Amino acid sequence: MSLETLTKIEELKGRFASDSQLADNEDTSGGVETSIGDVASYSLFLDVEGAIDLRVYLSPDGGETWYEPREESPISFGGSNTDVYWFEYDADRIRLVGTNDTPVTAQVREVV
């Protein structure tokens, strides 16, 4: 199902959803980031190819200032795995920084 079709279905259900590709099977050791819409919550979907610790940083001001949430960061993987994390912060950007060059796929899903 295409993203356009999925978005239309979500609109019919009375919700609007948006997806952002944060990393696509890539090295995150230098940091990757994307914007988050004006939403109350969002999900972070992760797929890692090996052992890695991922630090999550959130910005309330377009990336001028970054904060690391204590409860959710770092996210540690002992090997290849997938997981989903739900955030309820009023941030407008999210950044992931990996501890090594293990390939990471990360997507952010926002539902209004």
Delimit the domains of the chain by residue range: 17-111
| More confident site: 38 or 2 | 38
Q: 90 in the Ramachandran plot: left (φ > 0), alpha (ψ -120 to 50) or beta?
A: beta
Q: How far apart, in Å, are the Cα atoms of 10 and each of 7, 17, 40, 87, 112? A: 5, 7, 17, 20, 10
pLDDT of residue 1: 43
- The CATH code of the domain at 17-111 is 2.60.120.1050
Mean pLDDT of the chain: 84
The predicted-structure confidence for 54-102, as pLDDT tens digits, reads as follows 999 999 999 999 999 988 899 999 999 999 999 888 888 999 999 999 9
Q: Rounded to 5, what percent of the chain is helix, strand, coil?
A: 10, 50, 40
Q: What is the pTM of this model?
A: 0.80
Mean pLDDT over residues 26-32, rounded?
96
Cis peptide before 74 (omega within 30 of 0): yes
- Token couple for 59: 């910005």
